[in-house]
Amino acid sequence: MVPRVQPSRLQLRSVGPSQASPTGGPSALDQVGTLLHETLGERVTRELRSLLASGRLAPGEKLSLRRVAEALGVSMMPVREAVSRLAADKALEVLPGRAVRVPVLTRSQFRELTRIRLVVEGFAAEEAAKNVTAAQIAEVARHDAAFRAAAKADPPDTVAAVVANRDLHFALYEAAGMQSLVEMIERLWLKAGPILNLDMRHEPRRLDGGSAVVAHAALLEALRQRDPAAARKALVDDISAAAEHIERTAPLPD
């Protein structure tokens, strides 16, 4: 009989908040209970998602469960769960024999993805134009300003531009008021993220004077006018221009 000594296990879960004053009623206790229950697997998933969306993981790059587990300071299990989820969304792919890697999109796959984005995100833009509030318009305008500032800086702040561009688009999609639609678009962005942002990093010239700023301006104007057709057109122009640039410059196989 070997007495299983249990070495210290790292506890990343923060303990629950101390209860409110015992003298007072349970007023504050009603609002807790949710959040704060984040699983390690979810944390790793969020981390990998961020890495993919921001293009820090290049297409074709191979991942090792043990390596990322060690890098993130967790065991292999949460990483397995995260990779399973992302692989289900085709944001990662597991080769039959060996290794998990960031998928490399062929040219035709990229075109197909772009066409789907035009349909889905175009629809979201229409709905957003119908339901957008003044506060939401202001938020989009704020992200647009941040994007222009990052693009006009010298040298252009590519990482800030990527973040601002994403925030702008998703502020728009949130305005549509359809949660599952936003989640669907997030999946699409996760698949397209690696090439899109990898390209933006390598070609910062596209930012200033590019078509993105004029498309964003047209989008903002369409939102202010509550014009669904114009909003869709502005977004379609934005996506199309970016996709065309990618197709010209990025080395897509096939």
Partner DNA sequence: TGTCGTGATCTGTGATCACAGTTAGGTTGG
Partner DNA sequence: CCAACCTAACTGTGATCACAGATCACGACA
Q: Could you list the residues that contact DNA (CB under 7 A)?
A: 4, 6-7, 9-13, 15-16, 37, 39-41, 63-67, 74-78, 80-81, 83, 94, 97-100
64 binds, among DNA, a copy of itself, none (CB under 5 to 8 A by kind): DNA
135 binds, among a copy of itself, DNA, none (CB under 5 to 8 A by kind): none
Residue with tokens 């903002």: 220
Which of 21, 179, 205, 248 forms a contact with a copy of itself (CB under 8 A)?
179
- Residue 115 in the binding site for a copy of itself (CB under 8 A): yes
Residue with tokens 């469960």: 65
| Cα–Cα distance measured from residue 166 to residue 52, given in angstroms and rounded to the nearest whole number | 13
CA 149 to chain centre: 21
Strand partners, 101: 62, 93
76 binds, among a copy of itself, DNA, none (CB under 5 to 8 A by kind): DNA
- Residue 184 in the binding site for a copy of itself (CB under 8 A): yes
- CB of residue 11 to DNA, shortest distance in Å: 7
Strand partners, 93: 101
In DSSP notation, 29-62 reads GGT-SSSS---HHHHHHHHHHHHHHTT-S-TT-E
| Cα–Cα distance measured from residue 239 to residue 212, given in angstroms and rounded to the nearest whole number | 9
- Residue 58 in the binding site for a copy of itself (CB under 8 A): no
Choose one: 111-119, 131-139, 142-150, 154-162; the region binding a copy of itself (CB under 8 A): 111-119
- Residue 231 in the binding site for a copy of itself (CB under 8 A): no
Residues found near a copy of itself in the complex (CB under 8 A)? 2, 34, 37, 41, 45, 80-81, 84-90, 96-97, 109, 112-113, 115-116, 119-120, 123, 178-181, 183-184, 191
